[in-house]
Amino acid sequence: MFVQKKRAGINYDKVDTIIGQGTEFKGSSRAKGILRIEGRLEGDVSCDGDIIVSETACVEANIRARHVTAAGEIKGDLDLAGRLEISPTGKVCGTIRVANLVINEGGLFLGNSIMCAEGETAKRVEEELA
């Protein structure tokens, strides 16, 4: 019998919006709930929930969200209320402001990091997203 591993922070079973593989989006976007990116996105992204950047994704954007999981490539600044997790296939280049940072073996981070208390970061990001 196999036991499914639950990841802290993001409910992967409930995705509200998907930018599919082969899809290109340019501009500013605002999402609610969980946003999964499998294609290419350029611009600015604000999400009151979580963002999943899949292995096939290429994101060139400034991101504001609660949590981000990066299995693909992100170039830009991230301002997160909670956690950034970089998977073994993930690459993040830019300045990040987060409460928690996890870089799995094989994951790559190039840039600057600003670590904030979770409550402090969450309040600031929520105010900016409102």
pLDDT of residue 120: 66
Pairwise CA distance, residues 43 & 96, whole Å:
16
Inform me whether the pLDDT recorded for 25 exceeds 50.
Answer: yes
pLDDT of residue 58: 97
pLDDT of residue 1: 37
Condensed to tens digits (0 to 9), the pLDDT of residues 29-88 reads 999 999 999 999 999 999 999 999 999 999 999 999 999 999 999 999 999 999 999 999
User: Into how many domains does the chain fold?
Assistant: 1
- With beta carbons less than 8 A apart as the criterion, state whether 9 and 83 touch: yes
Average pLDDT, the chain: 87
Residue 90 lies in a domain: yes
Residue 102 lies in a domain: yes
Residue 4 lies in a domain: no
Q: Is 53 exposed, middle or buried (0-12, 13-18, 19+ CB in 10 A)?
A: buried
pTM for the structure as a whole: 0.83
Domain extent, residue 57, equals 17-129
